[in-house]
Amino acid sequence: MLTKNAVLSAVACAAVSNASPILLHQNENAFSNGEKAHVMTAPNLGKFVPTYPKQYTVTGIMHIPYADVHEPVKVQTDEEARAQKVTYYDGRDAMLYLNIGEDTGMTYETYIGYNRPMCFQSKLKKGTDTQDRMDREVKFIPDLKEFEYRGKTPCNPAKTDELCHHWSQEKSQGFHNQYVYYAKDDELYTPYYLSMVGRNVVFASHYDMYNVEYLTFEPTVDSSAFEVPECSVFLGGRDDHHHAVREEIDSLMNAHDHVSDKFDEHVVKFNKTYADDKELLEGHLNFRVSHHTVNNMNKQGDDATYGHNHASDLSTRERNGRMFGYRKSYKVGKPSDHVHVNRTVSKMIVDTNIKVPDAVDWRLDGAVTPVKDQGTCGSCWAFSTTGAMEGAYFLKTGRLNTLSEQQLMDCSWAYTNNGCDGGEPAMAMDYLTEVGGIMDDSSYKYENADNYCRYNPEKKAASIKGRVLIPSGDEFALKQAVALHGPVSVAFDASKPSLLYYSSGVYRDPNCSTTDLDHAVLVVGYGTTELGDDYWIVKNSWSTYWGDMGYFKIARNDNNHCGIATDATYVVV
């Protein structure tokens, strides 16, 4: 998904929308280096890859239909100068990359935080290995080497008879992946539309549907775009959020060569391409880690099944960089010493004499909104918060409102939350307790990026009186809370690769932690399989394309597996 918070890669996906973008006409022969554009002959069907300039400016809109996000983006690239600027929402957020691949490489990020413009700088890592893709240029025009050229077709039949060149790629490996790219029939092969159903290959996001509507394309770039911004505040430590410790792979290097054969099959099946031999090696090593993980998980003998998919050659950093966002600001299981003292925080008193059902699924009672999509923003904490509020409000009023995650991202910075760079449900609940309420999503839509706070109390859709901490690690207490009070906000260790490959059954990973939590989700129920395996029903925020229609089951009464009960909270409305 197109946002400053995304990891990087390139390729494309499915049908042209009815939108009719207006593309600005440019001088086809005007390159900033003085060279003339190469006039290409009419291509033949099959393999045909146009050559795009090394300097260009492109604008467009990333559409994520499932999340109803429409994100304006501008990309200014000078490959020879090793510089790029990616601007979001008409300049509100921007990432400037200078001296890419050099020892002196730097990143400057400007964004909205604490309701004012802020920025920070960090050093780029040298090299082009897969692990460092977040510090590399965004390939906003897809790599068409593995696409099939389909000839000319109407760019948008509903709006115009103008013809476009058409490339496509389609794969069915576990998920059905479709990629379609359209370019105008001019000397520059001006980008027109990119459609993706599958993994977002521009920003390496999770499985979803994405469309890129190109608005303008110029084979030039304004050098002033690469001027270092004047920053009033430089934050330290934010780069830690993007860092994931690489799993040990040395022990896998001597594996039998059949793993290399599997990797070769993986490359063919998923039409993988790598920038150079070093990136190819990184992909191969990542695949070995995935192969080891998949084999171990399938040997556990539990109910879940796992297998290789399109992400098996990705690094831990690429997988985890923007799919999470949970950050702990105080000691687990105890109220925070945060400066805001007017909130109502209490600890749940567990009554073992209260009998609760053997199975609960609040989805069946209408207390759970449809699965949402956090995109590539580290905003899981906001989705977990709204989920808990939506359920509690339904239990009290009988009405189910879809509440605004964006309000929490924009307005709770003073409560130690950091928008797309992570946060904590408990602190978001404290913010809501003190501010008086939350708007619904239709009035304050999700944008997949940080913005100024625009909360309007006159439009609030729900409010809370406070929050209740569930005794840390107590699964009986969590069960009682879910049964009596509705969906509960929890966090767990989602860092293990096995979760990425989950599709059904009861999830387990023997290596996950009960204390190192990185992802906030929503427990909406619990139950037991026919074989007697207890589980929690968990709503994720990675769209319905992931997992079991956006949900997963995780082991219950199994020593607080992955920390599912370590930091659990419900709201009081």
Q: What's the DSSP call for residue 515? A: S
Buried b (16+ CB within 10 A) or exposed e, 86-113: bbbbeebbbbbbbebbeeebbbbbbbbb
- What would the mean pLDDT of 362-391 be, rounded to a whole number? 95
Asked about 559 being catalytic, the answer comes back as no
d(CA 256, CA 383): 43
- The proportion of the chain whose per-residue pLDDT surpasses 90, expressed as a percent, equals 44
How far is 432 from 426, CA to CA, in rounded Å? 10
pLDDT at 22 exceeding the cut of 70:
no
C-alpha R_g of the chain: 24
Give me the pLDDT at residue 447, please. Answer: 94
Helix pair angle (425-435, 380-397), 10° resolution: 50
* Position 455 confidence tier, pLDDT thresholds 50, 70, 90: very high
Give yes or no for residue 305 having a pLDDT over 80: no
At residue 200, does pLDDT exceed 80? no
Q: For residue 301, what pLDDT is reported?
A: 53
Evaluate if residue 246 carries a pLDDT over 80.
no
Q: Are 170 and 150 in contact (CB under 8 A)?
A: no
For the whole model, what pTM was predicted? 0.69
Q: Which of 242, 291, 485, 519 is catalytic?
A: 519
Is the predicted pLDDT of residue 45 greater than 70, yes or no? yes
> Any alpha helices (H) in 228-348, and if so which ranges?
258-269, 277-298, 316-320
In this prediction, residue 243 has a pLDDT band, given cuts at 50, 70 and 90, of very low
Q: Band of the pLDDT at 21, cuts 50, 70, 90?
A: very low
Q: What is the pLDDT of residue 323?
A: 52
Per residue in 456-498, pLDDT (tens digit) is 999 999 999 999 999 999 999 999 999 999 999 999 999 887 7
SS (H, E, C) 129-151: CHHHHHHCCCCCCCCCCCCEEEE
The yes-or-no answer on residue 286 being catalytic is no
Q: Confidence class of residue 509 from pLDDT cuts 50, 70 and 90?
A: confident
The model's confidence at residue 302, banded by pLDDT at 50, 70 and 90, is: low
Looking at per-residue pLDDT, the higher value among 239 and 76 belongs to: 76
* pLDDT at residue 309 in the model: 64
Return the HEC string of 22-71: CCCCCCCCCCCCCCCCCCCCCCCCECCCCCCCCEEEEEEEEEECCCCEEE
d(CA 547, CA 503): 4
Listed residue (264, 318, 358, 280) closest to 133, CA to CA: 318
pLDDT at residue 288, as a whole number: 73
DSSP annotation of 390 reads H
pLDDT of residue 393: 97
Looking at residue 247, what is its pLDDT?
Answer: 28
Confidence (pLDDT) at 52 = 92
Catalytic pick from 13, 155, 377, 380? 380
Rounded mean pLDDT, 246-252: 25
Q: Which residues contact 72 (CB under 8 A, 6 or more apart)?
A: 59, 60, 61, 88, 89, 90
Cross-strand partners of 154: 163
Reduced to 3 states (helix: H, G, I; strand: E, B; else coil), residue 474 is coil
Average pLDDT on 565-572 reads 97
pLDDT at 239: 35
Domains and CATH numbers, the chain: 55-240 (2.50.20.10), 250-314 (1.10.287.2250), 345-572 (3.90.70.10)
pLDDT band at 273 (very low <50, low <70, confident <90, very high): confident
For residue 304, the model assigns a pLDDT of 77
Closest listed residue to residue 545, CA positions, set 6, 175, 68: 175
**Which candidate, 194, 175, 138, places its Cα nearest to that of 270?**
175
pLDDT over 50 at 554, yes or no: yes
Q: In the annotation, is 540 catalytic? A: yes
Q: How far apart are CA 66 and CA 72, in angstroms?
A: 17
Q: What is the mean pLDDT of residues 368-374?
A: 95
Residue spans of beta strands (DSSP E) within 327-443: 345-347, 360-361, 438-439
| Separation of alpha carbons 454 and 363, rounded Å | 31
Query: In the predicted model, what is the mean pLDDT of residues 342-367?
Result: 90
**pLDDT for position 242:** 29
- Span 83-135, pLDDT tens digits: 999 888 888 788 898 988 787 888 888 877 666 777 778 777 654 433 343 44
The model's pLDDT over 319-345, given as tens digits with 9 standing for 90+, comes to: 654 455 555 654 333 334 444 444 578
Q: What pLDDT is stored for residue 432 in this prediction?
A: 96
Residue-level pLDDT at 3 = 35
The single residue of 540, 560, 561, 562 carrying the catalytic annotation is: 540
